[in-house]
Each structure stands twice: as C-alpha cells, then as structure tokens.
Amino acid sequence: MECLHSHGIIRRDLKPDNLILTEDHKAVKLADFGLAREESLTEMMTAETGTYRWMAPELYSTVTLRQGEKKHYNHKVDAYSFAIVLWELVHNKLPFEGMSNLQAAYAAAFKNTRPSADELPEDLALIVTSCWKEDPNDRPNFSQIIEMLLRYLTPFHRPSQLFQCESLLRMLYCNQNLQVQVL
C-alpha cells in the first residue's frame, strides 16, 4: 500500500477477498486493481467506489449522490479499509456483524460507528482506531502505519518470544474462515 500511494495510486477496494497469501505465508499480495486509480488533488472521483463494509465514510455523502457522481477524497480511504481488514483478521469475523453491507456502511458514515477495539491489545487498538478517524486528514499514511506496526511487533523479535510472533502471524494469515487465497 505504501508503494501504491508513493506512486499516486489509491487502491479503493482493500478487503480480504482482494488479498492473496503467498504459499510460504511470508507475504500478502494485493489482487484485483479494477477500482484503483490515480489520485488527484483537483479532480473529483467517483463516489461510493469499493465494497460497502470496507469503504471509508467519506466515500458517502449526506447529500444523495446518483450512481457515478463525483466527490473529492484521497489515499486515506485505504488506511480506513486497512484497519477494517486488520480488525477482521484478528477477530476472525466480519466487522459490523448482523448488519448488511449497506447497513454497515451507513453506520460508519452517518453514525460514526466502528467495530469495537476493546478486545485488542492497547497498541494494536491505537493503530486500528487511528486509521478509523472520522476526518481523513487525521488518519496516518501507510509509512506511519508501518512504523506503528513495527513498534507493535518489535517485542516479538526477541528469541524468547519468537513463538508468540509465529502464533500471531498464524492467527492473522491462516484464518480458515476468511477467503484468503494461497499462491
């Protein structure tokens, strides 16, 4: 994601169905770039682009937009989606459980509802909730997200805690209930 953003590309549809886990379980690759586009500071982009449950709130409007109408947003929509995906991987369930995709999108956009981060370790909860900020300008970019994740995972690099790190990665990447494809 950092690479895409550094080249001015917004992903716009970051979700588990568009992530592929390599066979050695050491990397996650992005797939399906059909909705990705070049970011523009001046040009308006298609509103309501992506998959509702993982879409950032600013992709919706309090003014009804007809399908295909345009509005301005930036790469921070991907930070929001990333946090929803991370929450889903850790919890092994869909965010906004019991809601349709459209209801989940409405709750996020108009009621500022987010999945609960209460059961996450404090540092991981901070990463996730910072990506969910209502104002996209308050969300971290992917360079900052990477820094936060590395700080969070640093204790796991000690030899005595290597097993914990492997267990965490296994939990995050080998989740059978999510449709993550293996190359």
pLDDT tens digits, 36-66: 676 665 555 555 666 778 888 887 755 554 5
Give the length of the chain: 183
β pairing state of 19-21 and 37-38: unpaired
Domain span at residue 94 reads: 2-182
Phi and psi dihedrals of 46, rounded to 5?
A: -60, 130
| Whether residue 13 lies in the annotated active site | yes
Whether 17 has a pLDDT exceeding 70, the answer reads yes
Count of domains for the chain:
1
Express each pLDDT in 113-156 by its tens digit: 899 999 899 999 999 999 999 888 999 998 999 999 988 888 65
Q: Tell me the range of 3-7, 31-35, 157-161 where mean pLDDT is highest.
A: 3-7
- Amino acid 163: pLDDT: 43
102 vs 132: CA distance, rounded Å: 18
DSSP H helical ranges for 59-141: 76-91, 101-110, 122-131
**SS3 of 36, please?**
coil
Burial profile 68-94: b = 16 or more Cβ within 10 angstroms, e = fewer: eeebebbbbbbbbbbbbbbbbbbbeeb
Say what angle helices 142-153 and 122-131 make with each other, to 10 degrees.
170
Range of weakest confidence among 37-41, 88-92, 157-161:
157-161
DSSP H helical ranges for 92-182: 101-110, 122-131, 142-153, 162-173
Write down the catalytic residue from 13, 78, 118, 135: 13
- Which secondary-structure segment (H or E) carries 45? strand 45-46
